[in-house]
Structure 1
Amino acid sequence: MDERIREHADVLVDWSARIESGDDVVVSVAEGAHDLAVAVAAALGERGANVVTTYASDEVSRAYLRAHPGDFDVADPELALYERADAVLFLGGGRNTFATADVDGETRQAAARANRPVREARLATDWVSTVHPTRSLAQQAGMSFEAYREFVYDAILRDWEALAGEMARLKRILDDGSEVRLVSADTDLTMSIEGRTAVNSAASVAYDSHNLPSGEVFTAPYDPEGVVRFDVPMTISGARVRDVTLRFEGGEVVDFDAAAGAEAIADILDTDGGARRLGELGIGMNRGIDRVTDNILFDEKMGDTVHLALGRAYEACLPAGEPGNDSAVHVDLITDMSEESRLEVDGEVVQRNGRFRWEEGSAPE
């Protein structure tokens, strides 16, 4: 076994999920993540955790969704499993990244709404999502398998404490701020962040961070006004999506366009009322991620990018007792901020052309 797989497992179990002896842990294993699952199981065993493994296959999901008559119920056994768990580890890495491309949007929406209690139970645990490099993901990224493995481990096996210290600077700015403005050639969007708490997403539940790799600072914006164009291509629900433009008025999407994948965007927006509002503003700061790979787990953390999510807001960003935007979906869209762009907080430029004002080589204001 590649030693980096064991290092990946150790980072996941120790730094990210903070597993302790006696913890009840569910490990969800994708089709291509077997080697990582073996290493994770060994790490959990060494730490005295209790483990249940589940099988996560997009091809199995496709078969189920296409055969189902459409009136979905909550899966009570799955709900009970997550309600009893202390932590859930998602090990991604399937065989076909477009396996569910021919599942219709109405079926997806119905399944998402019915599955909501299960999803909420998972999110109430110390959950962490990561990915094992597979040939299908390498192909999706347009890379050789060997090059893709190097890319994945460069993003995951980092000095997370050092990166957390750098990201804390941006967190303080957002915590103290009231309004964010994004400006580029096709974007001019303002949104409120007053009263919200930014998350220093340093790949650990100790930071309210649940992705490995991570490397972003995110918050829960509201009342967006203006236009934003998402020029980073991506795959959403098995559909290729490119050059999405959203127009916000009164805090919600009133018009949209896309060069590709417009039907997928329409399906998302029609899920429920909250799907037309924003749940997240995320600012990528992981310089170990230096290219687009068509995998949201990596792409949204890339330096020089900003992403906005339609749908559900994360509780960690909200004041106590405030529900924030509520939806059955949380779908990220990414815009490149590396050229002719700026990110302002309360009128002050924090990032210009992808470089933060404290970084070496940042452009003058």
Structure 2
Amino acid sequence: MDERVREHAEVLVDWSARVEAGDNVVLRVGPDAHDLAVAVAEALGEREANLLATYSSGEVERAYLTAHGGEFDPDPGHERALLEETDVYLSLGGGRNTSATADVPGETERAYRRARTEIREARFDTRWVSTVHPTRSLAQQANMAYEEYQEFAYDAILRDWASLADEMAKLKDLLDEGDEVRLVSSGTDLTMRIEGRTAVNSAASVAYDSHNLPSGEVFTAPYATEGEVTFDVPMTLRGEAVRNVRLEFADGEVVDYGAGQGADVIGEILETDEGARRLGELGIGMNRGIDRYTDNILFDEKMGETVHLAVGRAYDACLPEGETGNESAVHVDLIADVSEDSRLEIDGDVVQRNGRFRWEEGFDG
């Protein structure tokens, strides 16, 4: 086995999920994530955790959704019972076809996601972490040779996470102290309120309220959004290519939208429910181990010199205790490149210009 696979498993189990002896662990395994699953299982055994492995496949999900009548049980008791007994939930992505569910009707997809709201909440109550095993399908999606993609993925995953956490804490402190964020670039002039919200130093560990590996972003839950924003990083959403998305906000919600490609997909997402037209997240990428776009949100949104916004659900970690943020059955990220002709302001002070933070070499205030 490639030693990097074992290192990936060690980071996931120890740094990210903080697994301890006696923890009940559900391991959700994609079809081509077998090697990583074996390494994680070994690590869990060494730590004397309790393991239950499950199988996850986009093709299985497609078969189920296309055959289903569309009336989904909002509270499947067997799955809830499992999650209620789960301490740690680890998801190992690695499918054979990144567009496996592309032909599932949009209304079926939306109904399924709405019905699973309570199940998602139960999973969010665990120490959950999502990661991916570098597979040939992901390499193909990224337009890279397989070996090249492996190098790319492990550069992003096998980081000195403690050092990166220290750097990202600088931005977290600025956001926590701020009241308003303004993002300005080509096709974008957007303001968002962040007063009273808590930014998350997303350092790839549940100890930081961070649930992705790789991670490397600082995010918060904005509100009262005004203005317009253009997302120029290519993406695939629900199996369809999306390019140059434009959203216009007034009174906190999307009042107009467009796209160079994939406008119908954006429209379907925004129609999911009332909360889908409001922002749930402002995220600022800081992982410079990610040096190119790969059409995989797990990596692309963490890339240095990018900013992403998500329509839909806000994360509780960003909200004051007892306060409910934006609620939705979706949380869909869209990414903007801010490496040129851009600035990010907090309360009128420029904290990032052209992708460089004010504490970094090359920052031009």
| Fold similarity call, TM over 0.5 | yes
Q: Which residue of structure 2 aligns with residue 165 of structure 1?
A: 166
CA offsets, 1:170-211, max 9 Å, x none?
Answer: 000000000000000100000000000000000000000000
- Length, aligned pairs only: 364
Q: Which residue of structure 2 aligns with residue 179 of structure 1?
A: 180
Q: Which residue of structure 1 aligns with residue 292 of structure 2?
A: 291
Deviation at 1:239, TM superposition (A): 1.2
Find runs of 4+ consecutive structure 1 residues off by over 2 angstroms: none
Q: Percent identity?
A: 73
- Is 1:194 the equivalent of 2:173? no
Q: Which residue of structure 2 aligns with residue 122 of structure 1?
A: 123
Q: Which residue of structure 1 aligns with residue 318 of structure 2?
A: 317
Deviation at 1:75, TM superposition (A): 2.5
> Matched residue of 1:41: which SS?
helix
Q: Which residue of structure 1 aligns with residue 85 of structure 2?
A: 84
Q: Which residue of structure 2 aligns with residue 45 of structure 1?
A: 45
- Is 1:59 the equivalent of 2:38? no
Deviation at 1:263, TM superposition (A): 1.4
CA offsets, 1:252-295, max 9 Å, x none?
Answer: 00000011111111111011000000000000000000100000
Counterpart CA distance in 1 for 2:81 and 2:334 is: 32
Q: Which residue of structure 1 aligns with residue 256 of structure 2?
A: 255
> Matched residue of 2:45: which SS?
helix
Look up the equivalent residue of 1:157 and give its one-letter code.
L
Look up the equivalent residue of 2:346 and give its one-letter code.
V
Look up the equivalent residue of 2:239 and give its one-letter code.
G
* Structure 1: 5+ residue stretches without partners: none
Counterpart CA distance in 1 for 2:55 and 2:265 is: 26
Q: Which residue of structure 2 aligns with residue 222 of structure 1?
A: 223
Counterpart CA distance in 2 for 1:241 and 1:29 is: 28
Q: Which residue of structure 2 aligns with residue 15 of structure 1?
A: 15
TM-score, with normalisation over the residues of structure 2?
0.99
Counterpart CA distance in 2 for 1:135 and 1:229 is: 31
Counterpart CA distance in 1 for 2:360 and 2:316 is: 30
Counterpart CA distance in 2 for 1:245 and 1:284 is: 20
Q: Which residue of structure 2 aligns with residue 110 of structure 1?
A: 111
TM-score, with normalisation over the residues of structure 1?
0.99
Look up the equivalent residue of 2:279 and give its one-letter code.
L
Counterpart CA distance in 1 for 2:104 and 2:264 is: 12
Look up the equivalent residue of 2:22 and give its one-letter code.
G
Counterpart CA distance in 2 for 1:170 and 1:306 is: 13
Counterpart CA distance in 2 for 1:51 and 1:218 is: 31
Look up the equivalent residue of 1:65 and give its one-letter code.
L
Deviation at 1:63, TM superposition (A): 0.6
Q: Which residue of structure 2 aligns with residue 36 of structure 1?
A: 36
Deviation at 1:346, TM superposition (A): 0.2
Deviation at 1:117, TM superposition (A): 1.1
Deviation at 1:122, TM superposition (A): 0.5
Counterpart CA distance in 1 for 2:259 and 2:69 is: 30
Counterpart CA distance in 2 for 1:266 and 1:78 is: 31
Counterpart CA distance in 2 for 1:160 and 1:30 is: 25
RMSD: 0.6
Counterpart CA distance in 2 for 1:342 and 1:13 is: 37
